[in-house]
């Protein structure tokens, strides 16, 4: 569904590249996470894929269309939810969606159903300019679905949302993906990426450092540990045991047989910990 080969982009039209020799492919029905800190090149890459930035160097194909020669039909197949909401403030939420659906040449979703889906029902007739930041973000998210996109570009889809609403948004993403929608997710939130993505790419300073599934990354870079809380001689002890080293496994066995276990759980590295290990950079 998406093919990118040797992509470069410079805002100053010189060799100061914001994106440097980026290559990847995304298959149909895949959720692909593009992960990195602010300024890493995530939005630049995404904006090239959706036609907001002109392709300077490289090869890019989206939904079967060559980005060098964009055709209007491509926009019927893609949806885009921006991190910064760009709604029409003088229109109501419902009017925003009604207006936007007229831009497409394909069957569109019922705007009122989308309003309800993102929890804005009862507020559909309020002007968007009076919406909170989170409400505008949900309206932008709903708008990105209106043309039933085959490829869905999501830029920080849960940013600024309270946990309950963010959970609802993640459920919607999962439901659309189950219908076969391909999703390109840009974020610096490793937790949402871990929960949703089939594969992730780590990008820093415009360069991709690695691409793999969250599971494989954890197996490759994560330590295999068990964290245990137990009482020994009436003292509560917290300890970690390797499940790889024989002496550590023997120690754990001894604790299990001879101590009063309070809690026990395996510990795996988070994507954020792996990102820092691989790139040497914090997610800021």
- pLDDT for residue 174: 96
- pLDDT for residue 27: 96
Residues 179 and 41 in one domain: yes
Write out the H or E segment, with its range, that includes residue 232. strand 225-232
Residues 203 and 235 in one domain: no
Helix, strand or coil, per DSSP, at residue 126: coil
Residues 93 and 146 in one domain: yes
Residues 259 and 122 in one domain: no
Does the residue 87 lie in any domain?
Answer: yes
Find the domain containing 247 and state its range: 223-267
198 vs 102: CA distance, rounded Å: 33
**pLDDT tens across 62-91, in order?**
999 999 988 889 999 999 998 888 899 999
Total number of domains constituting the chain = 2
- Whether 223 has a pLDDT exceeding 80, the answer reads no
The DSSP string of 175-200 is: HHHHTT-EEEEEES-HHHHHHH-SEE
- Whether 168 has a pLDDT exceeding 70, the answer reads yes
- pLDDT for residue 224: 76
pLDDT band for 220, please (50, 70, 90 cuts): confident
pTM: predicted TM-score of the whole model, two decimal places: 0.85
Residues 15 and 140 in one domain: yes
Residues 197 and 245 in one domain: no
pLDDT mean over 172-194: 94
Domain harbouring 126, CATH code: 3.40.50.300
Supply the mean pLDDT for the chain: 92
């Amino acid at each position: 569904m998406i093919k990118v080969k040797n992509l470069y982009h410079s805002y100053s039209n010189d060799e100061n590249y914001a994106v440097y020799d980026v290559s990847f492919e995304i298959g149909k029905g895949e959720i692909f996470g593009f992960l990195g800190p602010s300024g890493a090149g995530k939005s630049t890459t995404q904006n090239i894929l959706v036609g907001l930035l002109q392709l300077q160097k490289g090869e890019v194909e989206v939904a079967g269309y060559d980005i060098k020669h964009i055709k209007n039909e491509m926009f019927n197949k893609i949806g885009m939810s921006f991190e910064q909401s760009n709604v029409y403030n003088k229109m109501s939420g419902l009017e925003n969606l009604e207006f936007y659906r007229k831009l497409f040449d394909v069957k569109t979703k019922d705007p009122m159903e989308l309003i309800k889906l993102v929890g804005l029902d009862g507020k559909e007739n309020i002007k968007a300019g009076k919406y909170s930041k989170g409400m505008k973000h949900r309206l932008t998210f709903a708008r990105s679905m209106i043309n039933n996109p085959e490829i869905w570009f999501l830029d920080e889809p849960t940013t600024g949302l309270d946990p309950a609403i963010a959970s609802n948004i993640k459920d919607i993403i999962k439901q659309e993906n189950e219908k076969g929608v391909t999703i390109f997710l840009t974020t610096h939130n490793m937790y949402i990426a871990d929960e949703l993505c089939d594969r992730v790419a780590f990008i820093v300073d415009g360069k991709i450092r690695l691409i793999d599934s969250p599971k494989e990354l954890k197996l490759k870079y994560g330590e295999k540990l068990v964290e245990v809380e137990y009482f020994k001689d009436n003292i509560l002890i917290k300890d970690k045991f390797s499940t790889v080293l024989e002496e550590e496994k023997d120690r754990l066995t001894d604790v299990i047989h001879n101590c009063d276990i309070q809690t026990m759980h395996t510990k795996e590295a988070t994507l954020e910990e792996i990102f820092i290990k691989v790139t040497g950079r914090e997610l800021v």
